[in-house]
Amino acid sequence: MTPEKRNTLPKATRKLPLDFSLTTVNIVLLLIFFFLVSGSLVETEELSVDLAETSDLPLDRLPRPLLLMDVDDKLQLNGDAVSPDTLLATLTPLLNETTPRLHILADRDVPAGALVSLIQRPDLRGIEIKLVTLRQFKPDS
């Protein structure tokens, strides 16, 4: 037999390695489209915050001792003006000895940092602090 007539295997073709970059790009693009669409579905009203609003505050119906915090960093303890330096001295006789508790009512325009710094004062440690909020009354029509 001659070599030409012999059944020979076809020449091996070189296989190309699988390229996963196209698949990766497709997945990334799908994720980008998903987040673009889902981000545009969120309404801006869902992200807004309605702040508390107070008018004609009846101090006699609120818990005691009550510390009112004004926008101008003015403090009132049970309706009487008090300075930050004399707050603890004025507050001590008003506290319950078994469970010392202070209620704080801050104006809606008070910066959050000012309220946090008041709450974190070292001289108020050991006193339970409660934030007082008021619901705006809307009469039924």
| pLDDT at residue 8, rounded to an integer | 78
| pLDDT at residue 19, rounded to an integer | 79
Q: What is the pTM of this model?
A: 0.55
Terminal Cα distance for the chain, rounded: 111
The rounded distance, in Å, linking the Cα atoms of 44 and 51 is 16
The rounded distance, in Å, linking the Cα atoms of 34 and 3 is 62
Q: What is the pLDDT of residues 22-76, one digit of tens each?
A: 889 999 999 999 988 887 766 656 556 666 565 666 667 788 899 999 888 899 9
Domain architecture of the chain: domains with CATH? 59-131 (3.30.420)
